[in-house]
A and B are shown apart, each in its own frame.
Chain A
Amino acid sequence: MNFLKKYYMRIIFLITTIVLITLIGLSSIGRIDGTNLGFFGNVVSGFQKIAFSTGQTVTNAFYSIQDIAKMREENNMLTDTVHELQEQVRILENIVNKSDALEIEYEMKKNLGYNHVVGQVIALDSSNWFSRLTIDKGEKDGLKKNDIVISAVETDKGVVQMGLVGVVTETSSNWSKVITILDDNCKISFRDINSDESGIIQGSIDGSITGYFFNSKAKANEGDSLVTSGMGEIYFPDLYIGKVKDVVPTTDASTQRIVVEPSVEFTKLSRVYVLKVDR
């Protein structure tokens, strides 16, 4: 009894630690679902939304002042790029239209309509170890676990995708948690558009994305564009991931490790499109 009296604080500390470690273990293997804090969680997410928008407005105002000098130059450069791209589209359409099969596929892809919801990022993980975010849409908007999150813009012709952001890992009534492609826990099967070879990429704790090809003889070049391959049944095929930034030979010299530059700028991410997937 004296022992308990003397050390009860340490015993409570130890028991709490053991309970929490058990919770981590059970939660990591999916035996218990993460809690979403119910009404309190909704209130907190509401305030997060306001604080996030305020932060964004302040930084945007700051950058706007900083960027005024650059804008004219950038505008000229963008106009030139648009002209170049328009010419490229004309050439590609000309090639595609010469083949009936390709034309049908082109029309299908051009008109592909996603059942989507537009969400706003309300919280970002700012630690080094993870890359997670929270968005302001949840079960009430029809979101489910494993729905795909992309960065996109909506034009008159429909949704134009700019890049893959990640996947929904957990939903609450009014908000959802998203794991981004920069996170160590996120693995994606990709296809190199230029070589048509497939492989796997994975995020890491330092926020870089690296991967390798299934075929050890496959070669990648800097600047190759990567899209999702559709394998694994989580991601739709052909969602744009980014470009190959670096190709590093591995120690066994028979395979290549590729370093990927994602097309999405995660630090400036605010609006996302969640593609609802019927599985």
Chain B
Amino acid sequence: MKKFSLMAAVIVISFILQTSFFSFFNILGTVPNLSLVLVVIFALMTDRVKGGILGIITGVLYDAMIYDVFGIYTLIYFIIGSTAGAYSDDMLRENYAVYAATTAVATLLCHFLLYILLFFLKYRVGNVTDIFGSIILEVLLNVILSILVLKFVTMVFDKLNVK
């Protein structure tokens, strides 16, 4: 429970930083998605239920604090969290490449789901090709960030003696 509470607190802090502080540090107009990276890492560290709940917490924060259509990010982060959590037992949790690869897939899945949802919400998603470059750059940035964040999270959890 201590581990899960700590993860939820980190998710809230990451949301605050992602939507405010990090907006200033974009690379070619793209900001790495710390919230997504954390959902993936925490889901892989736990299981599908906890991954799904952490995904829902992340999504609710985004939907409630920034967007006016409720549920888009809640659904996306829930799917990513619970799916990554579902495969966590089959993966080698100590391997950084697993986290990096899952982050890359999760970033692409996030954009794919956004595309599908926005299509049904009648957004003009026809010109999605215009943001392909940004999406690929985000994948790369998220992969790099996932390794840094994983090292940091492992270090913090070790210091706090959280198993």
Contacts and interface: CB of A to CB of B under 8 A. Distances in A.
Indicate whether A and B interact: yes
Given A54-B21, A55-B23, A59-B25, A130 B67 contact: yes
Given A13-B52, A184-B124, A205-B127, A23 B19 contact: no
Contact of A55 (B22, B65, B128): B22
A28 B68 CA distance: 8
Nearest to A21: B75
B70 A24 contact: yes
Interface in B126-156: 127-128, 130-131, 134-135, 138
A74 B33 CA distance: 35
B128 A177 contact: no
A205 B131 contact: yes
Contacts of A208: 130
A179 B124 CA distance: 16
Given A34-B70, A36-B64, A169-B68, A48 B75 contact: no
Contact of A34 (B29, B64, B111, B114): B64
Interface string A3-23: 000000100010011001101
Given A34-B69, A41-B64, A126 B123 contact: no
Contact of A126 (B16, B19, B69, B70): B19
Interface string B27-70: 00111010000000000000011001000100011011111111
A52 B25 CA distance: 12
A236 interface: no
Contacts of A130: 66-67
B20 A124 contact: yes
B127 A206 contact: yes
Contact of A21 (B18, B21, B71, B127): B71
Nearest to A130: B67
B67 A20 contact: no
A59 B25 CA distance: 8
Contact of B114 (A27, A37, A124, A129): A129
Interface in A109-128: 122-128
A38 to B, nearest CB: 10
A99 interface: no
A51 B21 contact: yes
Interface in B56-109: 56, 60-61, 63-72, 74-75, 78-79, 82, 86
B159 to A, nearest CB: 23
Nearest to A36: B64
Nearest to B123: A184
A59 B56 CA distance: 32
A24 B117 contact: yes
A178 B12 CA distance: 21
A17 B75 contact: yes
Contact of A37 (B21, B64, B117): B64
Interface in A34-50: 34-37, 41, 44-45, 47-49
Given A28-B121, A185-B123, A13 B82 contact: yes
A248 interface: no
Given A47-B16, A123-B19, A126-B18, A132 B71 contact: no
A202 B31 CA distance: 24
B78 A20 contact: yes
Contacts of B86: 9
Contacts of A45: 65
Contact of B20 (A52, A127, A132, A206): A52
A123 B123 contact: no
A58 B74 CA distance: 31
A34 B62 CA distance: 11
Interface of A: 9, 13, 16-17, 20-21, 23-24, 27-28, 32, 34-37, 41, 44-45, 47-49, 51-52, 54-56, 58-59, 122-130, 132-134, 169-170, 175, 177, 179, 184-185, 202, 204-206, 208, 267
11 contacts: A20-B71, A28-B121, A35-B63, A37-B65, A51-B16, A55-B22, A123-B65, A134-B65, A177-B67, A205-B127, A208-B130
Q: Which 4 A-B pairs have the closest CB atoms?
A: A52-B20, A24-B71, A123-B19, A126-B31
